[in-house]
Amino acid sequence: MRLRVRPVPAATLAAHGRIPVAVGLAQWLAYQLSIWHEIATFYGYTGIAGWPEKLSAFSPEDLYSNELGIRLAGGIVFAKGARSDLEYGLSMDAWLERALRRLEAVPVEDSRTAMLALDGAWWDSGKRIPDWTLVKRRHLDAGPVVRPWRLDDAAAGAQGGVKTLARCASAGPALVFRLHDDLAGAPFRDLATAEFEVDDALVENGFPLPRPGSRLVTQEDFPAIIESTRRAIVDVFGPGADAP
């Protein structure tokens, strides 16, 4: 994996400042890396020997939680709360707590209730790791808008229709992220490229190489690769496997 960053035009730096440009570009690149992680794990990459990460590739919360964390990190940098590893960790704890309040997070008991309600819809309690089909729904919409999947959106599961938790009945609207691909009209893709070399293991697992004879992939190839992945998922789980 390589990140190629090109010189930023002096006019862009003068108009926006080094920190906003650097943070915005870093956030954009971090999100591209998070997409690549989902793609690579679907085709067999694993960071821990023996752990089948394909079962969690593009799982219902992945892309949304990735973008949430990226935004929190950017906010911490702008607030000057990352002057050391320790300070950053403490800042993230505090920002994450406030973010969960904003998102109206529920207690653990309600989370367990929700997971049981989703059995048969988003996951299958009859399957066991390392069976990657344990997770039946995959969230592949990588942008430009990333919407959270909520109980209200879920298809019927093994227990029938999925009901909203009483605690969530009066919840506010979902917090939807619109991804930032540019800075005041200057596309980040003009400033940086994320490059990846697809290894033999991924190719052997059916990785859809975008160009014959080349193992090189960049973020510009992601949409086509994701569409191939979507078709592979629908082939296994049937229509609707890429929706809540």
Query: Residue 50: what pLDDT?
Result: 74
CA–CA dist 207, 93 (Å, integer) = 37
> What number is the average pLDDT over the span 144-160?
87
18-42 and 222-237 helices, crossing angle to 10°: 40
Secondary structure letter of residue 218 according to DSSP? E
Structure tokens, 16: 């926006």
Structure tokens, 236: 């296994």
The DSSP annotation for 75-119 comes to HHHHTT--SSHHHHHHHHHHHHHHHHHHTT---HHHHHHHHHHTB
Query: Residue 48: what pLDDT?
Result: 81
pLDDT tens digit string along 163-196? 888 888 888 899 999 999 998 888 999 999 999 9
Q: Find out whether 66 and 74 touch, Cβ atoms under 8 Å.
A: no
CA–CA dist 156, 122 (Å, integer) = 9
% helix / strand / coil in the chain, to the nearest 5? 50, 10, 40
Q: Which of 6-15, 43-52, 83-92, 131-140 has the lowest mean pLDDT?
A: 43-52
Which burial class, exposed, middle or buried, applies to 233 when counting CB atoms under 10 A from its CB (0-12, 13-18, 19+)? buried
pLDDT band at 71 (very low <50, low <70, confident <90, very high): very high
Query: Residue 93: what pLDDT?
Result: 98
Q: In 3-state terms, what secondary structure has residue 32?
A: helix
Query: Residue 179: what pLDDT?
Result: 95
